[in-house]
Structure formats: structure tokens, C-alpha cells
Amino acid sequence: DADVTQTPRNRITKTGKRIMLECSQTKGHDRMYWYRQDPGLGLRLIYYSFDVKDINKGEISDGYSVSRQAQAKFSLSLESAIPNQTALYFCATSQTSGVNNEQFFGPGTRLTVL
Amino acid sequence: RKEVEQDPGPFNVPEGATVAFNCTYSNSASQSFFWYRQDCRKEPKLLMSVYSSGNEDGRFTAQLNRASQYISLLIRDSKLSDSATYLCVVNIPRNFNKFYFGSGTKLNVKP
């Protein structure tokens, strides 16, 4: 079973709709992240959370909100989707600290806003 | 200025070739360094961490030059299966432990 899962894997929606993307992890990591990836731009950080009570904005948080329902769950919402939010969205986790604090990614959600 | 910069490529090489990618980072407070591999439309996966002394994993060798703030990845005896995009990633603990990603270097290994 995958350590980091995302649902849905693909979603097509219309402008103005509210969308929620969900992420769950079984790695026991405290830290969770949401990124979006656009061609040629690499991964850009939307929000991150270091524990259940901690939520922080990333570099492109406008138009998005998040909820950390539990250590293992971190959801991303688009309150009113717009076409330029069409992208590939990744959830990631990492350990709190340590030498090997690499990130582990979910399989991604491909979102299309028409 | 971007935190992490990479040549986007593509690098088109024949099977068996040796290919090297470089990546530069701008923040001297960067502490951890990684190379990730990403296949088309898939999630990034860790290829290797990069240690100060340099490290090797089979056909892959990573080097870190802190003075010049660059990281390199060398792939020897390229395989068709090495075709992917390679992402350079740095972590800055004192900047809320954020990870910064390069936009990736695309490698195409041809028969």
C-alpha cells in the first residue's frame, strides 16, 4: 500500500465550483505540504503544516485553503475554482528533523478547471 | 532570483553515455540537498541525498560544492530507463524547514 495517498486522482470541474483535494499518509510524519506543478515552473508550495495545530502559507496560497484534520490527513480546498488553477497537485510529507529529512510525495491529483 | 536553478535541457544522449547535470542554489543557509527523479505525470521520487563528501549509488554520483553553491549529478552508462526529469531540491531548516525545487532537467536516453 502507498504511504501517501491522494484523492481524487483526476478531477474536471467548472469555474466557480468548490473543490477539495484530500491527502492521507501512513508514514507517521508530522510535516505535510501541498504543492502545485505547472509545466516549466517546477513545484510551488501552496501551504504546509508542521502538526495538527500549525498551518502556514506557502508562496502561492491565494485562492486556496487547507485543513489539517489529523496528523495523517491534510486537505486542500479551492473555494471558487478558476481556470488558472488547472495544474497537477502533489501532497508531500517529511520527518520533523534529522539528516535524512527528504520529502515523500503522493501520486498527484490532476485538476482541470473549465 | 530563484532559490534553485537548473538547466531545463533536454539532454539527449545515447545509451551508455555519461551525462552530468548541475544545479545552483542561492541561499547559503541551505543544509540538505537531494536529487529527485520524476517520470511524466508521476510524483517525484527520491533518487539520492547529496552529502558534503559526495556520494555514489551504483551508476549515480552526487557532489556538493558549498563554496560555489552548486550540486551535481553524474549518471554513467545511461540506460533507456533513465529517461526522466531530474529535480534538484534544497532544504533550509531555518526558513521554516522549507524545501525548494528546481524546475527540473529533462533527460532523454536514446537507443
pLDDT by residue for chain A (114 residues), tens digit each? 569 999 999 999 999 999 999 999 999 999 999 999 998 778 999 999 988 889 999 999 999 999 999 999 999 999 999 999 999 999 999 986 655 678 999 999 999 999
Going by C-beta distance under 8 Å and a sequence separation of 6 or more, which residues neighbour residue A12?
A111, A112, A114
pLDDT at B94 over 80: no
For range B40-67, the mean pLDDT:
93
Three cell numbers written together for A96: 520533523
Would the CB atoms of B96 and A33 count as touching at under 8 Å? Answer: no
Residue A96 or B57, more confident: B57
For range B53-72, the mean pLDDT:
94
Chain A from 62 to 81: CB within 8 A of any B CB: none
For range B24-28, the mean pLDDT:
92
The mean pLDDT of chain B is 93
Query: Smallest Cα–Cα separation from A18: which of A64, A79, A62?
Result: A79
| Burial (CB count within 10 angstroms: exposed 0-12, middle 13-18, buried 19+), residue B81 | exposed
Would the CB atoms of A94 and B34 count as touching at under 8 Å? Answer: no
Would the CB atoms of B46 and A50 count as touching at under 8 Å? Answer: no
Task: Give the mutation candidate from B99, B105, B106 for the A interface (greatest A CB count, under 10 A).
Answer: B99
Q: What is the structure's pLDDT at A98? A: 59
Residue B47 or B98, more confident: B47
Q: Is the peptide bond before B10 cis (omega within 30 degrees of 0)?
A: yes
Would the CB atoms of A48 and B96 count as touching at under 8 Å? Answer: yes
Q: What is the structure's pLDDT at A99? A: 59
